[in-house]
Structure 1
Amino acid sequence: MRGRKLTAALAFVAGTGFTLFGYDQGVMSALLTANQFEKVFPEVITGSGYPANHATLQSFVVAIYEIGCLFGALANLWLGDRLGRRKTIFIGGSIMIVGAILQTTSFTYAQMIVARIITGLGNGLNTSTVPSYHAECSPAAKRGSFIMVEGALITFGIMISYVISFSFYWLTGSSAQWRVPISFQIILALMMIIGVLFLPESPRWLAKKGRNLEALAVIAALEDKDYTSDSVQLTYHGIREAIDAESRSTDSERSPLREVFTNGRSQNFRRACLGVVNQCFQQITGINLITYYATLLFQRLGLDDVKSRIIAAGNGTEYFLASLIAIFLIDRVGRRPLMLFGAIGQTITMVLLAVLGKINTPGCQVASAVLLFVFNSFFAIGWLGMTWLYPAEIVGLRIRAPANAFSTASNWIFNFVVVMVTGPAFSSIGWRTYIVFAALNAFIIPVVYFFFPETKGRSLEDMDVIFALAYNEGVSPVGVSLRDDIPPAGSPEADEILGVRPRSTRSDAVDEQNKQ
């Protein structure tokens, strides 16, 4: 495959991985109150007449998945650069299949807990690898929209999880009511691991490992051009110069993991922190109040079992449709404006939810249900796909695998905290829970404005130039990223900023190819 066919195949495999991710997030929402699920796992039943700790146990069976994802993401610190992107994705998908089988066949609360941890391990590997792999294989002009498609497919996965769960809700006399929706994960995981077998490895990982001819061949295939074309050579040269610059500015014997904690011209630690904070911000917005507990939230607003599931399915559908907007905006508007737009809208929505929750009349309950849809829209446009795109863009190639492992781990840590405290929080402080999340969303706004550089239209290697220039001039990389006079990676001017010896944009690769 070459050109558009190869790009489409990459998008399909990456998209399947994130559809699976979204499906996993949403599938437990409706199952928690399904009668057959409660029959097998009575520990999740809450309300009058049941022990007070059941609210915690209910949250725990949902949130423990995030702990598995956390350890899976951290495992990528050691696996990501050793195995490569494709093998890591294959292993992650295989582990998820094992976990999904164990979940489907669970008969005790403890077995379900263990099964969800195993499933999470695989998903943690995937979510810390797939965005990097897709970003490293995408052109700068379209990279944002390509990764935003992954974000949209998270919501697509959530939507189909609600629809499938609702479809099987009527099987009230069979455990297929919950076992079949959970087992559907296996189909998605199989599609992903079979698809990745037909794809090339990331050209940037290949170049990092010294497999330069393979890297050049992949770049040429992605662009559907001859290896001697100027654009292919410039991309290749930019990658090689970025690798050379990183190796010259750091101790070559030092591991990439240790490099994460260095600064200097490469600004590794600062850039890794931006990725970690970006992922943290996605979770503290409070989106998983809705994603994991949609059915329960609508029941709390006075809807019965059936209506709450119908509205939850509608909520997931609207969430998916809103996420499509970001695909068309991300490479036109940029990353910073969308993050700010989302945070401002989410803050206002949470404040309104708190006010309406305090008043709590039938009319306010209807308005609150509508606002849950509104919150989804702001989040889908501003933050849904952003945190799978931005951390992969902001860090350098040498530390990309460990830095993305840390940033994805941040996502899962705060995901766990939010999901774990939601049930007890609503039981203890009710509508005031929304005030907490309103304050957290408001905090995001100034941090993004003052500390997050823009990456729109920049190649991954261009970001090395931006941070090096900011370091050389002693200014903020935010201001530098908004300038129009930044030389492209691979040019002599960029080589000078990076502090490397300029080379011909062609001779290195062409000579090496001719030797073959």
Structure 2
Amino acid sequence: MFGSKYLGLRGRKLNIAIAAVAGVDMLLFGFDQGVVGGVLTLDSFTATFPEICTTTACTAGMSPAAANHQSVLQGVSVSSYNLGCFVGALLTIVLGDRLGRKRCIFGGSLIMALGAVLQCSAFALPQLIVGRVICGMGNGINTSTVPVWQAECSKSHRRGPTVMAELCIVVGGVALSYWLDYAFSFLEPSSTAWRVPIAFQLLFTLTVLATIMFMPESPRWLVLQQEENREAEALEVLCAIYDCEPDDAFVNAELEAVRVVARATSQGTFKDLFAMGKTKNMQRTLLAYGIQAMQQITGINLITYYAATIYENEIGLSGNMSRILAACNGTEYFIAMFPAIFLVERIGRRPLLLIGSIGMSLSMAVLAISTSIASHSTSSAPGIVAAVFLFVFNTFFALGWCGLPWLIPTELLPLEIRAKASALATSADWIFNFMVVMITPVAFNSIGWRTYIIFAVFNFAITPVVYFFYPETMGRSLEEMDLIFARSSGWLDTVHEAKTMPRHYGRKGEVLRDMLPEVREELEVADGMSKVVAQSVGE
């Protein structure tokens, strides 16, 4: 009955196709994060944009004030992309539920393509900055939408590994950008050395544009469109995802659980993001916002954007060796993501976050000590230690903090505000990303090795926040998380409730107990929507 849609794919093949399209978009996300950092020190790039060159050759003979001005301009130019991402994420708060998940991704990819064309064809700094802002706006829309679309089209026991695998692809995009930058650096002094790597992202945007509209829409978003009555489409999508017939009991129970939640809560407004009560919308919104803000204040993009510059300017390596190490750093970062894919549904989200934050704090402390010693020593040993601990930091970040801050908000947030709150949370990622990328050149120019101390303290402070406030979401369906928050008595009780509430699904997705009566009961109590719930039950 439904076999002709979605390129004729169903079940496992359709799930792979959804993951592949989302993965290409995530690869683009990572590629954009790293590509400019690898060309900042190229002679052809600095010749085209001399006002943002901060290499030793460019700043030699400059006054401290002039050198600081150069670093500020570089920070503005590089971080303008993140500011665009912030604007795109805010736009998604308004447009996300109106357009749907697929159309948002299509529009975001189209905007990114325009931004890429402007950047790779730039001959003046203003055009480069405008291109980066526009490209960032498209990426902000996509990164606010793709994780939500992916989570809402995934089975509960597959959601963690699937989203983590896609974030592994993000890191793969970073590594790819570094190696592409290095490969094309041999074409110096031609501007092809930097124009082609930046233009390469068009390959990914065009792939997403060509495929996304053939994929299924989120069944949960379709159920929310109550005025248009698109529940038949939602059933069609669920049947395709699970490779079941429309009369299958499991699929209909899944649809009923989503329907009850949607009708009992309706479609949320922006004001609903900060409403309290038993559903704890404000708590869940702030947790989602907080984890994405914390991801950026770890200091990861200090390395992602400026790895080659750090190796050359702060550690004193040659330009060629700096680009090789930056590419190796990105590759090791990519490889370090794989354990997280297999551990996320085995040991859980919280242990990975805690291990990651402690490891990153210690890594930043060692970086501060080693670069401090290196600045007053003629020995190469401190510089080698610093270079190694840039790799160590990335390893701990990849293990806990690369993928989980994108996965956890989609698991914590209730359906009626999921798109808006996810977009708001993503805006936190981008505005704090902008802050880190903006201040990094200035900080290194002004306080040098002490920059690492700031991020060591941030990572240390993150650890107790995660321990006391973030509940475990491993193996829980999105509707189960609604129950956990509805039953918790306060902010500090949510972690305990997540530990003690009986599970409705097993590790392989098998149904352990009927969740629907509890969902109906809790939502009726929580929202005072007894008539609506009764109507849903009656149907």
Give the TM-score, by structure 1 length: 0.94
Write the mapping of 1:415-454 to structure 2, written as runs, cut at 5 A: 415-454=433-472
Partner SS state of residue 476, structure 1: helix
Asked if 1:24 corresponds to 2:32, the answer is yes
Question: Does the 8 A contact of 2:38 with 2:323 survive in 1?
Answer: yes
Q: CA deviation at 1:182?
A: 0.4
Supply the distance in 1 between the matched residues of 2:192 and 2:299 (Cα, whole angstroms): 31
Question: Corresponding residue for 2:71?
Answer: 55
Question: Does the 8 A contact of 1:168 with 1:181 survive in 2?
Answer: yes
Question: Does the 8 A contact of 1:489 with 1:495 survive in 2?
Answer: no
Question: Corresponding residue for 2:177?
Answer: 161
Write the mapping of 1:223-262 to structure 2, written as runs, cut at 5 A: 223-247=242-266, 256-262=269-275
Supply the distance in 2 between the matched residues of 1:288 and 1:364 (Cα, whole angstroms): 22
Amino acid aligned to 1:470: S
Residue of 220, 225, 240 corresponding to 1:209? 225
Supply the distance in 2 between the matched residues of 1:101 and 1:455 (Cα, whole angstroms): 41
Q: CA deviation at 1:33?
A: 0.6
Write the mapping of 1:503-514 to structure 2, written as runs, cut at 5 A: 508=539
Supply the distance in 1 between the matched residues of 2:19 and 2:232 (Cα, whole angstroms): 24
Supply the distance in 2 between the matched residues of 1:475 and 1:376 (Cα, whole angstroms): 31
Partner SS state of residue 32, structure 1: coil
Amino acid aligned to 2:132: R
Q: CA deviation at 1:245?
A: 2.6
Partner SS state of residue 263, structure 1: coil
Supply the distance in 2 between the matched residues of 1:341 and 1:271 (Cα, whole angstroms): 23
Amino acid aligned to 2:217: E
Supply the distance in 2 between the matched residues of 1:440 and 1:280 (Cα, whole angstroms): 11
Q: Map Cα deviations across residues 199-222 of structure 1 (whole Å, 9 max, x no partner).
A: 010000000113111111111110
Question: Does the 8 A contact of 2:261 with 2:519 survive in 1?
Answer: no
Question: Does the 8 A contact of 1:241 with 1:490 survive in 2?
Answer: no
Question: Corresponding residue for 1:263?
Answer: 276
Residue of 385, 395, 419 corresponding to 1:377? 395
RMSD across aligned positions (CA): 1.7
Bigger shift: residues 287-296 or 41-50: 41-50
Q: CA deviation at 1:228?
A: 2.1
Partner SS state of residue 344, structure 2: helix
Question: Does the 8 A contact of 2:285 with 2:413 survive in 1?
Answer: yes
Residue of 396, 413, 424 corresponding to 1:406? 424
Question: Corresponding residue for 2:6?
Answer: none
Amino acid aligned to 1:176: T
Bigger shift: residues 355-364 or 152-161: 355-364
Amino acid aligned to 1:235: E
Write the mapping of 1:319-468 to structure 2, written as runs, cut at 5 A: 319-360=333-374, 361-468=379-486
Q: CA deviation at 1:313?
A: 0.7
Question: Does the 8 A contact of 1:27 with 1:162 survive in 2?
Answer: yes
Supply the distance in 2 between the matched residues of 1:192 and 1:323 (Cα, whole angstroms): 23
Supply the distance in 2 between the matched residues of 1:128 and 1:306 (Cα, whole angstroms): 36
Partner SS state of residue 25, structure 2: helix
Question: Does the 8 A contact of 2:89 with 2:137 survive in 1?
Answer: yes
Partner SS state of residue 188, structure 1: helix
Q: Map Cα deviations across residues 242-279 of structure 1 (whole Å, 9 max, x no partner).
A: 112313xxxx7xx5211111011211111010000000
Question: Corresponding residue for 1:186?
Answer: 202
Q: CA deviation at 1:8?
A: 0.6
Q: CA deviation at 1:491?
A: 2.0
Q: Map Cα deviations across residues 400-448 of structure 1 (whole Å, 9 max, x no partner).
A: 1110111000000100000111111111111111111000000100000
Supply the distance in 2 between the matched residues of 1:475 and 1:37 (Cα, whole angstroms): 51
Q: CA deviation at 1:355?
A: 1.3
Give the 3 Å change call, closer, same or farther, for CA 166–218 of structure 1 in structure 2.
Answer: same
Give the 3 Å change call, closer, same or farther, for CA 419–474 of structure 1 in structure 2.
Answer: closer
Amino acid aligned to 2:496: G
Question: Corresponding residue for 1:101?
Answer: 117
Amino acid aligned to 1:394: L
Over the matched positions of the two proteins, sequence identity in percent amounts to: 46
Amino acid aligned to 2:493: S
Residue of 479, 493, 497 corresponding to 1:480? 497
Amino acid aligned to 1:40: T
Question: Does the 8 A contact of 1:96 with 1:122 survive in 2?
Answer: yes
Question: Corresponding residue for 1:9?
Answer: 17
Question: Corresponding residue for 2:317?
Answer: 303
Q: CA deviation at 1:69?
A: 0.3
Supply the distance in 1 between the matched residues of 2:327 and 2:429 (Cα, whole angstroms): 25
Supply the distance in 1 between the matched residues of 2:249 and 2:353 (Cα, whole angstroms): 35
Please identify runs of 4+ aligned residues in structure 1 that moved more than 3 A. Answer: 486-490, 500-508
Bigger shift: residues 121-130 or 42-51: 42-51
Q: Map Cα deviations across residues 431-486 of structure 1 (whole Å, 9 max, x no partner).
A: 11111100000010000000001111111111111111114x99711111111425
Write the mapping of 1:80-119 to structure 2, written as runs, cut at 5 A: 80-119=96-135
Question: Does the 8 A contact of 1:3 with 1:222 survive in 2?
Answer: yes
Question: Corresponding residue for 1:512?
Answer: none
Question: Does the 8 A contact of 1:96 with 1:118 survive in 2?
Answer: yes
Gaps of 5+ in 2: 1-8, 505-512
Write the mapping of 1:266-305 to structure 2, written as runs, cut at 5 A: 266-299=279-312, 300-305=314-319
Count the aligned residue pairs.
501
Amino acid aligned to 2:281: N
Give the 3 Å change call, closer, same or farther, for CA 504–259 of structure 1 in structure 2.
Answer: closer
Supply the distance in 2 between the matched residues of 1:117 and 1:474 (Cα, whole angstroms): 37
Supply the distance in 2 between the matched residues of 1:276 and 1:489 (Cα, whole angstroms): 32
Amino acid aligned to 1:476: D
Bigger shift: residues 368-377 or 222-231: 222-231
